[in-house]
Structure 1
Amino acid sequence: MSADELWWRRPFQMFQTNLREIDAGLDVERVLDYLEDFGARAWLLSVGGIVSNYPTDLEFQTRNPALAERPSGDLVGDAVAAAGRRGIRVLARMDFSKVDHRRAERHPEWCFTGADGTQQVYNGLTSVCPSGDYYQHRLFEVVDEVLDRYAVDGFFFNWMSFNEVDYSKAHRGCCHCLACRRGFAAFAPGTELPAGPGSPGYPAWRRFTAGVLDELTARVRAHVSARRPAAPLILGDRADIVFHEANNAVGRTLWHHRTAEHVSAARTHRPDVPVLTNAVAFVDMPYRLAGEEPNHFAQYLVQAIARGANPSTYIMGTPDDVGYECLDVAGELTRFHRDHDAFYRDLAPAARVLLVRPDPLKLAPERLEEATGEFRGLYSALLEAHVPFDVLPEPRVPDVAAQGRLDGYGLVVLPDLGPLDPAAAAALGRFARGGGGVLATGASGFDGEGSQLDGSPVLRRTAVRDTVESVRSMHLRRPGRDGARPRGELPVVGAFHVVEPSPDAETDLPVLSRAPYGPPEKCHGHLPLDIPGALWRAHGAGQVAVLPWTPGRAYHQVGLSGHRDVFVEAALRTANGPVRVDTDLPEQVEVVLGGSAAGGVVHLINHSGEVPQGFRAPLPVHGRRLRVPWWSRQPSFALRSRTGLDPDGAGALPRLDLFEVLVERPPVADR
């Protein structure tokens, strides 16, 4: 089938009822009434796996005993038939992550096995391993039974992973079942199968498990597609639709931009592959009766649609069972997306800066935490400076380069990534030689003494200071502009790599040596050193810049605007062409650029309501302006306020509350 014939290639809106065993008697028509009012055109329904909501005939599946409450004895059959009459798609939620005690005893080869030889049991259910026969073969029998009986419109597999962490957030270690032992030995000969994150072989284990899941996902996708081409698989990178769950969790530090980051990473990698953001309407699984804060939930969906994802709302039980206050705003935003689908069709990233996200599979846990802090600090800096950007996972750089899509960017930012894959380093060198800018921070591109980046301004690295004590009291001096007095000093936080510049490199941000910091009488002695904190070098038609320290970690941890400003200044100096929008919007307003079938699209997201662990109502913003310097056609209409704009971008924008969407032309009804 062509892409135009596949329903999920067009914008859609979904609602998930994650059903408990006791919900099998639900009123199908009543739920569908709710979905239609909500604005959803797809229903994610619990179908099979741990519990089957249809009369399965497979010995290793369990019929839901509550099906006896239905005259038909078949919830899935009733739902598919009723939804079909209304034109609503039904997608099957499957969960193959666990089996009951009886089947675990009969088939121990299916089960996750810890390093101590014990199985992983939670609430009477035993976790199974993706390497084992249940996932590798029995899964396909269940999928075939569903496809044989029902015209479902797609599949989603819940928790298809190596369950190292259980529902209580307890880490259960790596699987040591026979299938994993054989597979890991073939994948990493000579490496001992790790017990958990503290084991030396854990990075190799992460790469092994990722490969197992990728291969399994590809097989499932091919199987479903062969049987029902119009039914997509919603899962990971190898699926038809990339899935992201936007959720909160008690005890987890909130990253306010998590949804936008994940959607951007997927869409930048493969802009032709749809993304689904399933936003959880309750606070956390143990507290599923407590609805999410409405302003927090609204950010899930706004960040999702701004980056090109399809919105979905997820509840436990049925709409009659919950009174979540956030469902009002969820419905409002879902209907907005539905009513303006012409502007969301084929919405793809259109920024001129690419921020590379660290690869978790190559870094030890402590290094991943450091690199993530650098990434998030630079993410915040670009957002606040109104430099629109797209996110790309580090392993995907060679893919995007091979497709020629790096050439659309003026700048690529590498946040403390450490040694680069040789293919990525070569691609970035070609990108700079052809006119692009590459800006590396921290350890990015260093492998031993030398730099992997062609055209690097660093001749060699001579020392590494990457402990708290080794950089404590170290400063960078910000020279004044045009001979003016210095603009002050910045503390070095995180790591500093002492480098020798290439002879033709330009340098800036000289280092001031460490000095005593107590008692006060001894707090003196900082000396200027011949060590640069910023370096540039021309490379072909472009240039390569290095900040051999971690400004993102510093900004993320300390919050000094000077760290942000030094990085942004370096980014603007390194970039080829304009990358920053012309605006007087406050720094709390994010600018997201995209291009759709209807032309250029600008989303403005108001983050002024951010608080440490959530969001409150944002403060309204009035009378500001915005212009995208490299766009020949500026937005002429604001969709949410239904207001015309100055076509030159010089006029005032309408009042901005939570978000606004600026487009090149108004909808047909507004012309």
Structure 2
Amino acid sequence: MRNGILLLYLFLQTTYLSAQNHTNLWWKRNNLRVIQMNLPAYEAATINADSIVTDLVACSANTLLINAGGIMAFYPTKLDSHYRNPYLKDNQVLADVVRKCHEKGIKVIVRFDFSRVHESIFKAHPDWCYISPKGERIINTDMYVVSINAPYVQEKAFSIIEEVISTFPIDGIFLNMPGYQVNNPYEGKYHGIDQNIYDKKRFAEFSGGKALPVEENKADPLFQQYLEFKKATVEEWSEKLHKLVKSKNEQIAICTYSDKFVDIIRHESQSMTTLPYWPYTASDNVGNAVNSFPEHIISNASIQQISFQSRYNAVEPEETRIRLYENIANGSGLDMSMMGDMRGYEDERSFPVFQKVYGFHKKNESYFGKYRSVAKIAVVAPGAWPNGEPMQEYRGIQLMLREAHIPFDIVEDGQIAHLAGKVKGYKLIILPEITYLKPEAVRVLQEASAQGTHLIATNRTLFDNPDALNQLFGAKIEKKDNDGTGNYLVPDDRSVFKRFKGQNMLFWKFNLGLYDLSGADRKLLPVLAKGRPGPPEIIGGHDRTGYYALGIKNHPKSKAALFPVNLGRIYYMHGYQEHKNLLLDVIGHLLPEAAQTVQTNAPARVETVLKEFTKNTPENAGKTASDGQILHLINLTGFSGNTYFEPLPVHDLQFRITLAKKPRKVFTLTDHKPLHFTWKDGAINVSLARLAEFESIVMEW
């Protein structure tokens, strides 16, 4: 009996210490203020530890991300397979940077990039490097892209990482450009699936003897198997790295762009080269990551360079400011990536922004980073890095909700099955052209619908799963791709469409799917024919076609609405209010309470982000109970569509905010001044006299 009690005590003690150690991992505090200094090779000759630390302290940064190795070593490596930076003169500079950062309480994450090797290594080991189906190499000056399954990545990379960990007391490692390479992003050229001999051999082992595909064709079963192969091999490498790093020191954080065997998921807000610009990039990135991977810490970097071809020109300071405030509001720390160190920088315009926003975060960090969502709506994202038409559809739906001040979460499509409980807790889920979902994800949506969650889907959502499309929405596809230019929609049912006073025909453009909606309980938005284009004398002929642009199917506890049209894309690209109003009216019909969480007279260009918070202090590390709610206000009035100006001050803002209970006090975070409020019927009414660039209204219990 005594031995049993002793064993139980030891088990509980071990479990407690394990939980304590997990809680005490330094990055778990989620208060990162990162500055990444992406050092060109030649700066190794001039970087100075004292100036780097001085600049970090001036910016209130608590984490430095700086080069260590991979493409080239920024320290005196002893490994033959690790090309040493020829400009490196001071062999102690990296050691000095780490030591002096630690003296100021600044963590150091070192950067590795194992995507390329110097030509000297290529000449000695050409079989380590990428080769295209046409026999081409991917080359940037004297650097050659490697193959992930060849010995350099599979063996030498681990030796390099182990050497750095053994030499320097670092706090984390960051992996740049991990995984399979098929593009030369620095020149904007696609080369194709790697045909390296090691890839061929390993894929044959994985697939039972099959040859590598040479084309990326999603309809090809061989390519689908190749995608599974890539996922499996990347995860296997990541697991091996995780075991190596944690065996050396569990306090070393692993940071990269994926989620498996990673401590910090990094994302990037980058400048856009095509219009329309997207001012919500940080809210989009962080919102997606924190809800799709709730066990991870997220760090979204504001990439200062305009493009790979224009690295020495930074984005506008106001764009940087918006990104950083959106990071704070959505639950990420601060993160900025620049070329080189801060001395003699080619574009210093954003330096005052870094100092101000990072300083604000440092002063008020107890109100950031421990958030829970209050959203009743989830928008499903087409992956972590959406692109093309699905991205436009997805962003358009987001834009409608953000401008209407309706809180929502973002959940990545591939994570639905892993977050079944969370997904089923939403009252409305929106699927903007989510064209493919795994069977288990479809089952989660079906179960959510059966339990009372409403659904709204747009355009080609679930086109490849006709059974689910019919079961959920009562729809069958007759023609999913159909140019809607010239057609009109009629908002005929004014019990649903309440925002169309003085308008009874809505123009259309982009895709207008022709669907059989006979399985739906209501068919709305009759589609009118294109009619007769030409001079005014002959136009007309817009007769009803028999098709509809909206079907609503009633389920026992919920409704499911399908817009088989590019509803989000048309608003993202053109911005006509009538198309936004279609979605808002249907949301109002399915979930009237959606617009009641935050009611305000704030302009559409004031972004509102409402979160429940727990004070983020060391003593609260294990606390989960709420300390109140916080409403972040980001002033985007300076965004004109194709550039960023200083925001215009906004005056006399009124808010009615639904709360779980009456707050003990309400105040502004920028100056900690109290705000007068009234409490009635589960909501507070509060006003803000003036909004400059940013404000947070704290409502503490």
TM-score normalised to structure 2 length? 0.87
1:250 CA drift (Å): 5.2
Are residue 507 (structure 1) and residue 523 (structure 2) matched?
A: yes
Q: CA deviation at 1:384?
A: 0.9
Deviation at residue 642 of structure 1 after TM alignment: 2.8
Task: Answer whether contact 1:436 1:576 (CA < 8 A) is retained.
Answer: no
- Work out the CA distance in 2 between the residues paired with 1:416 and 1:314: 32
State the SS of the aligned residue for 2:353. helix
Partner residue of 2:295 out of 272, 278, 281: 272
By how many angstroms is 1:162 displaced?
A: 2.6
Aligned to 1:567: 583
Correspondence for 1:221 = 242
Give yes or no for contact 1:463–1:499 (8 Å, CA) kept in 2: yes
Once the two structures are superposed, the pairs formed by residues 334-353 of structure 1 within 5 Å of their partners are 334-353=358-377
1: CA distance, partners of 2:125 / 2:592: 60
Other-structure match for 2:4: none
Task: Give identity over the alignment, percent.
Answer: 24
- What does 1:353-502 correspond to in 2, within 5 Å? 353-359=377-383, 369-401=388-420, 404-447=421-464, 449-452=466-469, 454=471, 456-458=472-474, 460-468=475-483, 471-479=484-492, 481=494, 487-502=503-518
Q: Structure 2 vs 1, CA of residues 614 and 229 (structure 1 numbering), >3 Å: closer, same or farther? A: farther
Residue 486 of structure 2 contacts residue 531 of structure 2 at CA under 8 Å; is this kept in 1? yes
AA partner of residue 75 (structure 2): Y
Higher mean displacement: 220-229 or 440-449: 440-449
Residue 699 of structure 2, aligned match among 644, 659, 664: 664
Moved more, 250-259 or 421-430: 250-259
**How far apart, in 2, do the equivalents of 1:203 and 1:257 lie?**
33
Equivalent in the alignment of 1:669: none
**1:485–1:311 CA distance, 2 compared to 1 (3 A):** closer
1:259 and 1:651, CA in 2 relative to 1: closer, same or farther beyond 3 A? Answer: closer
Q: d(CA) in 1 for partners of 2:609 and 2:202? A: 43
Cα distance change of structure 1 residues 224 and 627 upon mapping to structure 2, 3 Å threshold: farther
1:325: how far off? 0.9
Alignment match, 1:64 = 85
- Report the more deviating stretch, 517-526 or 108-117: 517-526
The one-letter amino acid of 2:33's match is: Q
Q: Greater CA deviation, 34-43 or 318-327?
A: 318-327
Between the aligned partners of 2:245 and 2:578, the Cα distance in structure 1 is: 53
Say which SS state the counterpart of residue 181 (structure 2) adopts.
coil
Matched residue type, 1:430? E
Aligned residue number for residue 85 of structure 1? 103
The residue aligned with 1:3 is 22
Tell me which residue corresponds to 1:13: 33
TM-score normalized with structure 1 length:
0.91
Q: 1:628 to 1:52 in 2, by over 3 A?
A: same
Kept in 2, the 8 Å contact 1:457–1:505? The answer is no
- Give the 3-state SS of the residue equivalent to 1:388 in structure 2: coil
1:617 to 646, 649, 668: 646
User: Would you say the 8 A contact 2:656–2:686 is kept in 1?
Assistant: no
SS at match of 1:9: helix
Distance 1:178 1:192, change over 3 A: closer
Quick one: structure 1 residues 196 and 533, their matched pair in 2 at CA, closer, same or farther if it must change by over 3 Å?
closer
> CA, structure 1 residues 309+174, in 2 after alignment: closer, same or farther (shift >3 Å)?
same
Measured at CA, do residues 478 and 188 of structure 1 come closer, stay the same or move farther in structure 2, by a change above 3 Å? farther
Root mean square deviation of aligned Cα: 2.7
Change (3 A) 1:387 1:48: same
User: What is the CA–CA distance in structure 1 between the aligned matches of 2:635 and 2:478, rounded to whole Å?
Assistant: 43
The answer to whether the 8 Å contact 2:406/2:594 transfers is no
Mapped contact 2:48–2:93 kept (Cα < 8 A):
no
Distance 1:318 1:129 in 2: 31
Counterparts in 2 of 1:531 and 1:452: CA distance versus 1, 3 Å: closer
Secondary structure in 1 matching 2:695: strand
Query: Where does residue 650 of structure 1 map in the other structure?
Result: 685
Aligned positions, number: 652
- What is the rounded CA distance, in whole Å, between the counterparts of 1:65 and 1:466 in structure 2? 56
Q: Hey, what's the Cα distance between the residues in 1 that align with 2:275 and 2:551?
A: 37
> For residue 331 of structure 1, what is the amino acid of its counterpart?
Q
- How many Å separate the matches in 1 of 2:455 and 2:218? 34
Look up the equivalent residue of 1:237 and give its one-letter code: D
2:478–2:516 Cα contact (<8 Å) kept: no
Are the structure 2 counterparts of residues 579 and 603 from structure 1 closer, same or farther at C-alpha, using a change threshold of 3 Å?
same
1:19/1:318 contact within 8 Å kept: yes
Q: How many angstroms does 1:184 deviate by?
A: 4.3
Pair 1:117–1:30, CA change in 2 (3 A): same
Return the match for 1:593 from 603, 610, 613: 610
The DSSP-based 3-state class of the residue aligned with 1:624 is strand
- What SS does structure 2 have at the residue aligned with 1:387? coil
Shift of 1:633: 4.4
CA contact (8 A) 1:89 1:153 kept: yes
Q: Are the aligned partners of 2:83 and 2:117 in contact in 1 as well (CA < 8 Å)?
A: no
CA positional deviation for 1:613: 3.4
Please list, as runs of the form range in 1=range in 2, the aligned pairs for 1:514-553 lying within 5 A after superposition: 514-553=530-569
Q: Tell whether the 8 Å contact from 1:497 to 1:548 is kept in structure 2 after alignment.
A: yes
Q: 2:306 aligns with which of 258, 261, 283?
A: 283
- Residues 510 and 185 (structure 1), Cα distance of their counterparts in 2 relative to 1, 3 Å cut: farther
Q: Deviation per CA, 1:31-79: give whole Å up to 9, x if none.
A: 11111110001111211112212211111112333333x3xx2222111
| Cα pair distance change 1:448/1:34, threshold 3 Å | closer
Decide whether the 8 Å contact of 1:224 with 1:231 is kept in 2. Answer: yes
How far 1:655 sits from its partner (Å)?
Answer: 1.5
Is contact 2:485–2:510 with CA below 8 Å preserved after alignment?
Answer: no
Q: Hey, what's the Cα distance between the residues in 2 that align with 1:520 and 1:338?
A: 63
Query: What is residue 148 of structure 2 aligned with on the other side?
Result: 130
Q: How far off is 1:126 after superposition?
A: 0.8
The alpha-carbon distance between structure 1 residues 20 and 448, as it changes in their structure 2 partners (threshold 3 A), is closer
Q: Give the aligned partner of residue 95 of structure 1.
A: 113
The 8 Å contact of residues 259 and 265 in structure 2, kept in 1 or not, is answered as yes
Structure 1, unmatched stretches of 5+, are: 667-671
Q: 1:173 touches 1:197 (CA, 8 Å); kept in 2?
A: no
Structure 2: gaps spanning 5 or more residues = 1-17, 616-627
Q: Structure 1 residue 22 and structure 2 residue 42: aligned?
A: yes
Shift of 1:272: 2.8
Preserved contact between residue 130 and residue 136 of structure 1 (Cα < 8 Å): yes
Look up the match of 1:51. Answer: 72
Distance 1:129 1:175 in 2: 7
The reply on whether 1:181 has 2:200 as its aligned counterpart is yes
With over 3 angstroms needed to count, the CA separation of the structure-2 counterparts of 1:485 and 1:58, relative to structure 1, is: closer
Residue type of the alignment partner of 1:624: L
The answer to whether the aligner puts 1:640 opposite 2:670 as a matched pair is: yes
Deviates more, 1:407-416 or 1:249-258: 249-258
2-side partners of 1:480 and 1:576: how far apart? 17
Amino acid at match of 2:486: S
Structure 1 distance, partners of 2:520, 2:133, is 55
- Residues in 2 aligned to 1:92 and 1:526: alpha-carbon distance in whole angstroms: 63
CA contact (8 A) 2:458 2:562 kept: yes
- Structure 2 matches for 1:159-178, cutoff 5 A? 159-166=177-184, 167-178=186-197
Q: Tell me, in whole angstroms, the C-alpha distance in 2 between the residues paired with 1:466 and 1:186.
A: 40
Task: Tell me the CA shift for residue 21 of structure 1.
Answer: 2.4
